[in-house]
Structure 1
Amino acid sequence: MLSDEVVKKLAVMPVFQANCKALAGELRISQADAQQELLLELIEHRLTEWSEEKVVAAIETEEPALGWRVHYSRKDVARRKHHADRAENDLVEELGVANDHSRQSVVVEPDVEQGKVEQIDPDVLRALDMAPSMFSNHQTKDWVQSLLTNGKQDTMLAFHQSDRQFNNKLRNVATYCNSHRDRSISYQRQEQAQHQAKELAILDGWNQLMADPDTTDTDIQVWIALHRRYVEPLVNKSGIRYQGLVINAFCRAPNLDKYRLANLLAHQYEQLKEVENIEQC
């Protein structure tokens, strides 16, 4: 349970005030009543797993994860007030639609033959993993990528190599990679930092949506469409049940799956920020 002092700090946050005003308008109640409803929803549901120290830190830094919890708490309160009698029926209808769509959807897995490079020594494979970031020669890059993706036989065929030529190339590439390990690690770190920066920029856009009390399911659908290549792999590995609806028809997805997506993206953001903070130390 949060102390009165922390609750007061929470109640004056800009994101809380904006969602409180929006809730009062949606339910046609006073600002004071809307504030009470929103605070109760946060305290009793969406902040139950947060310690008081974490809540205080989130308030002080205006943590986006806290912002989306406020946003969805407002949606929860409004939904219960408007649809108390129909909630179960609506959910059944949504699940029925989702089931129809899920039967029509097809998940395409990468067509990768298992064991294509299993005959190559593991130490050599680890060295090859570093190669694409180390070589400026495009032919060598393409050769390594072909080996890792297609295997030995296809690579020999594509690059017109005999078995002896292939083994000599493999040995030379692996030797070079191992002898330039420090350079490779530096490249990998640079690439990782660039990737993290791009990912954080995408998630910052999500956080802005969650901080806006006027954000609709349509707004979220547009955001998902713009960042589909980022969102889809995350959704595929998550506990979201009706993945096709979340990606393609967010407004018709079950509320539970909508919350799971919000939780997933908030968790992803928090992890990235933790890594960023550790690297800056």
Structure 2
Amino acid sequence: MADKARSGGILDTIKTVIYALLIAGIFRTLFFQPFWIPSGSMKDTLLIGDFLFVNKMAYGYSYASCPSVRIPAIGINIDAKDICGWADGDNTRFLGAEPARGDIAVFRHPVNGTDFIKRVIGLPGDRVQVRDGRVIINDTPVEVAPDGQFEEVAEPQGPHGIRPRCANGPVGDGGTCLKEKFVETLPGGTSHSILNIGNQGADNTPVYTVPEGHYFFMGDNRDNSSDSRVPSVAGGVGFVPYENLVGRADRVIFSSAGSSMLFFWTWRGDRFFEALE
């Protein structure tokens, strides 16, 4: 009897774990996906170590709404297409809604499927160009106003130990890393912070016409972002198909300045439930 009870207890535990995983998978697929900011491409709107939930209901659902599960340490690499590839290929969405210019959105890279987070700059049919670091949309330069400087400590950041790039040249560990800061106002009135390090190749681009069903994304840390300014075949992002959108980021839940979000003593006290602009 004891062996039978023990066997039944193990079976009940396995069932509970399976049910919990199924519920978590359904929740993540339909409603919110956790996302931890790994790079500085969206500074100072998003910092390395920010933790947020992406609202998947904002744009409706496509194959990209299915989660990818990648744990290289134990050899797990399950892509969203492995689960929901049957819904890929028509560039449509179920209960779909169009993103607004200025939204901060997570999307799947058009070539390698990696999750990126950037800001929506160009909508379908827009003509987008960057000239001397200034965005021009449909032949009209966007409004940009100086907003002081962004300061951070020159040191390795996050679990990957990424060092920030600085406008004030190479800065030793512990020094003050500076970037020029501006407020950019897009057509429609959305305003947000952007950073400038210096003259870069991506500060001047051709005129890109955004195809129907696609979007043009840029990072707020303009000189430290791989985005739509470079075609995906050349190592950038290029135009992002509508079906590749995962969801919209609206608020930072908490933020860790350390190498792990579990190190609570490194949490940034001023970023709990911080609304994003």
Class of the TM-score when normalised by the shorter of the 2 chains:
under 0.3
Higher share of residues assigned helix = 1
TM-score scaled by structure 2? 0.21
